[in-house]
Structures are given as C-alpha cells and as structure tokens.
Amino acid sequence: MGKTESGSNRLYENQLLTFSDYANLYQKELLDNVLPFWLRFSKDEKHGGYYTALSREGCVYDSDKFMWLQGREVWCFSYMYNHVEQKPEWLELARHGAAFMLANGRDAAGNWYFSLTAEGKPLVQPYNIFSDCFAAMGFASLDKADPGKGYGQVAIDTFKNILERKDNWKGVYNKNYPGTRSLKSFSLPMILCNLSLEMEHLLGKEKVNELVPEVIHEVMDRFYRPELGIILENIQENGELSDTFEGRLVNPGHGIEAMWFIMDLGKRFNNQALIEKAVEITLAILEYGWDTEYGGIFYFLDRKGYPPLQLEWDQKLWWVHVEALVALSKGFAFTRDPRCMQWFEKVHNYTWKHFRDPAYGEWFGYLNRRGEVLLNLKGGKWKGAFHVPRALYQVWSTFSALDKAST
C-alpha cells in the first residue's frame, strides 16, 4: 500500500485525511478549544493554584486541590510555552500553580500531599507517589521555561525522593499486611520511563543512561508477558504471575501509554528493535482491549476472562483513547507500519465522535460501554489539564513531521 498519487501524503487508498489534515486538526483543537478552556476556568485567583473540578460549562463544583493534577497543569502550560509558543499568559499560569504548590504542597519530609483544601490546608496524606511524579515533571518543565528560579532544584529533590521510596512507595500508608502477598505495580516503572526523559536536562545524560535500562527491563521483560501478549498491572515480586483479582488485572490504556514512552526511549537510545517491539505490543493490546460490539477500548479486563473486580471495567475513558492515538501516530512515524495508521483512523473516529464536546469546549472523560456520556464533567479528582492537551500536541507534532518528510 503506497501513496495514492504523486505528492500525496496519504498512506493507503482508504485513508481519508492526509498527514497535513491531521496535523491541522489536532493543532486547532489544542490551541482554539482545549487550552483556552483551562486558561479561562481553572485559575483560582483568590487562593492560588487551580480548580480542576469543572462542570461541562466550566463552573467549579468542588474546590479541593489534588497535588498530582496541580503538577500536571504546571507541566501542561510550561510545556506548551516551551514547545508551541512563548505566550506570557501560559507561563504566568504555570508560575501561578507552582507558587501554590511550593507554599502548601509538601509535608516536612518533602513528600507531596495527595490533596489540599482550596486555601491550601492538607486534606489527604502523601500516600500516593504520583503526586511526587507529576510535581517533579511540572517543576522540571517550568525550569526550562523560567530557569534560575529554583524550580529545577525542586524537581531534582522530588525525583531523588521518588527513587528512595520506589520499592515501598506507600510506606506507612500501605494498608496491605506485610509479607503475605507482595505484588509489584506497573504504574511507577511506566511513569519513570517518561519522567526520566522529561528531566534529562536536570539529571544529565549519564544519569538517564544509568536509570533507563532497568526501567525498560521492568516494563518489557517483567510486566509484559509474551505468553499472553499483554501487559499486566501487578506481578509478584519474583516476577511470577499471581492468580488473584490484582494479579489478573489488565488496564489496556496503561499498557498502550507505556508503549509510546518506550518508543521515545527507543529513539533516545537509537534502538529500532525496541521501538518495533513496542509497536507490536501496542497493536496486540488494542486487539485484546477493543470492544468489538460497541467500539472503544475497555477500561479494565481480567486476563483469564473472569469478571473484573472494578465495576467500571466496561467504561470508555478519555485518557485511554487519546494515549492510544499518541502511540499509534508515533508507531507509524517510527516504523511506517500501515497497521498503525489503520488503527489510528479507527481510534480517531471513535474518540472524536464520542469524547469531544462541540458545545462547551474541552472533552468529556467518561462514557458508558455504548459510548454515551456517563458524566458530563470536564475535570474532577482524576481528570485535569493533561492527557487531552498532551495527546493533541503529540499527535499534531508527529503528523507535522510526517507531512514534512512526505513532501
């Protein structure tokens, strides 16, 4: 399957849009729809930081502030400032969130709380290391945008804390009884794949070279199970499978998102074999996780086909689908595998039809299995200014490069 005509950047006969079309579509959605929504509605002018519990129209329906979403929004607007355009309002909004986090976000040991009141009083203890991960990510990005202000040191200190906690990251807040069933979670090595590259300008090339191979090994040789063709959420500490609710759990979105992190690491280390393996895993997870009856990607599945523990298992979530779009666009760009483009169109059509809100901006987060809007919120405890804008930028950037390469 080649180009349909001289000078065209279509991949195959059934492709409806060119690379340029896709690039323009994703760029416009990011700049004209999604970023303006958060810029307009999320800033807390009174107390600092961001509101993330936003209704469909952008009204604040809860004022609690979740540190991992605060860090994500700092990252979002500083990243866009660094990579798209140096708009003063983007940098100001990133600084605004960072100031609130610095003033209120950590305990005495430097761990980032899970949540605060609107005014900045601690609500939930720092049990969740992902608050730290996204604080490090946000401050590292802001350091690029606004160097010399101490943001980089905050990112470095937080990253060191993450590494010290990584083997028992819940610490005193772990509710599991020690020693009976010790499982390792996929989430942290997955995030470290991306966070290491986000912080390379602070950590240095040698440190990244030292850290990344072990993270890749964890993801690709332990949590990825070639005998199953999928990635598991939890395994035993010795690497063996666990025939339990947690041990059988599959989160297709996590696996797919991790694979574009691995693709980026493959480019960073000039390892084409790693990239191609990540593409094959992405395609396998999509085949496994796609709902053939109603379309879309399931949220959770059980590797043995048993009923999942999570009652929301059959919902269709925004982040799962937009991360798949990133993985598929990168997969095609890095390998030119036509299956990536075929799947991209399938996921693109479903995602834009069901998640995008043409009336009030931004995207819905939660659909039922049939693809109907389940919750019409635009943000909350788990959804903020992160997955949608990041994915729109990544797909825009990837197709722009493909367009230039094809002309």
Model pLDDT, residue 49 = 98
Contact predicate 117/123, CB 8 Å: yes
The count of C-alpha atoms lying within 13 angstroms of the C-alpha of 31, restricted to the half-sphere facing its C-beta, is 13
Q: Which helix (H) or strand (E) holds 257?
A: helix 252-268
pLDDT at 189: 93
State mean pLDDT over 330-341.
97
Confidence at residue 4, expressed as pLDDT on a 0 to 100 scale: 33
Tens-place pLDDT, residues 51-82: 999 999 999 999 999 999 999 999 999 999 99
- Select from 336, 324, 323 the least CA-distant residue to 287: 324
Angle 19-29/387-406 helices, nearest 10 degrees? 150
> What is the pTM (predicted TM-score) of this model?
0.95
The pLDDT tens digits for 217-270 are 999 999 999 999 999 999 999 999 999 999 999 999 999 999 999 999 999 999
Query: Phi, psi (5° rounding) for residue 348?
Result: -60, -50
Question: Residue 113 pLDDT > 80, yes or no?
Answer: yes
What is the DSSP code string of 28-55?
HHIIIIIHHHHHHHSB-TTTSSB--EE-
The span from the CA of 15 to the CA of 13, in Å, is: 6
Is 328 in contact with 343 (CB distance < 8 Å)?
yes
- Please report, rounded to a whole number, the percentage of residues in the chain having pLDDT higher than 70: 96
Instruction: Give the pLDDT score at 3.
Output: 34
| Residue 319 pLDDT | 98
SS3 396: helix
pLDDT given at position 179 = 87
Evaluate whether 325 touches 391 at the Cβ level (below 8 Å): yes
> Exposed, middle or buried, 250 (CB in 10 Å: 0-12/13-18/19+)?
buried
* Contact present, 375 and 383 (Cβ < 8 Å): no
- For residue 110, give both structure tokens: 């430097």
* Centroid of chain to Cα 88: 25
Burial of 311 (0-12, 13-18, 19+ CB in 10 A): exposed
Residues 6+ apart with CB under 8 A from 273: none
What is residue 167's DSSP assignment?
G
Closest CA to 260 of 190, 318, 207: 190
Residues 363-387: tens digit of each pLDDT: 999 999 999 999 999 999 999 999 9
CA 256 – CA 299 distance, rounded (Å): 12
Q: Which two tokens stand for residue 362?
A: 């931004």
